[in-house]
Structure 1
Amino acid sequence: MNQVHERLANARLRRFELIVNQIKESNVCIQADMAAIKENNAEVIAEARREARSVKTIVVTTAIGSVMAIAGFNATVLSNMVASYESGKSTAAAITQATERLDRLQERTERTAALVDAWYAQMTEQDGTIKKPSKR
């Protein structure tokens, strides 16, 4: 009976050794799969980081472009405001000049009218036949 038990024990031992060998082989396969997964994850992470840098670059570039566009718009508005102000000053100066010229012209016209009235009065006294023209 000892031999039977010994054979049975050896058979069970071989069976356990086979199971352990299968587990070891399975473990080696799992470790290989895990290494492949780690490598793949490293690639995925590297790609995600590159894309994140790309997105950061796009966001920063867009922000800088927006700020520059707003600054350009502000500069344009300021330039137009200054030009309008200068134009207003020029227009005011032109109006002032025109008003002064009109005042001088009005004074000349009044002096000329007075001279013409005096001349007509003098001519009427001398001759008596000259008629003063009607005012239009």
Structure 2
Amino acid sequence: MKAAHTVTFIALKPGLLTGKARDVTGVLHYDALGLEGWLASQTPPLRRFDATQLGQWLMPRRPTSHKGEHGRLAIIGGDLGTAGAIRMAGEAALRAGAGLVRVLTRGENIAPLLTARPELMAHELTPQSLEERPDLG
């Protein structure tokens, strides 16, 4: 069952904003009932935001900037049969604004990963690879 609208009072409850609730709450309506000041002094703030607001917080990139100037992230994963999960994690990191994204995964995952997302930097992960190249992590 999915609600068309959900109404909550006094506080934005985390359970309405996280997990599977996002699939069933519909449009969320919130009213603090005039208790904003009191509530702020009682609990840590919880805020709801979406992708349109992120654009206000992220600085625009210079046209001549390099991806290495916008953060570096290493993602480790992609066991047998789960190459799609590591690809999705890499894509999410790029969409979220990480500049240089390294994916450390099984060798057999590298070709499909780079075919789909050549902007990811993929490296084979072996027991020796992190010892030989600590800069990968």
**TM-score, length-normalised on structure 1?**
0.13
Highest relative contact order (Cα 8 Å, sep 6+), 1 or 2?
Answer: 2
The structure in which a higher percent of residues are strand is 2
User: Of Structure 1 and Structure 2, which has the larger fraction of its residues in helix?
Assistant: 1
Q: TM-score, normalised by structure 2?
A: 0.13
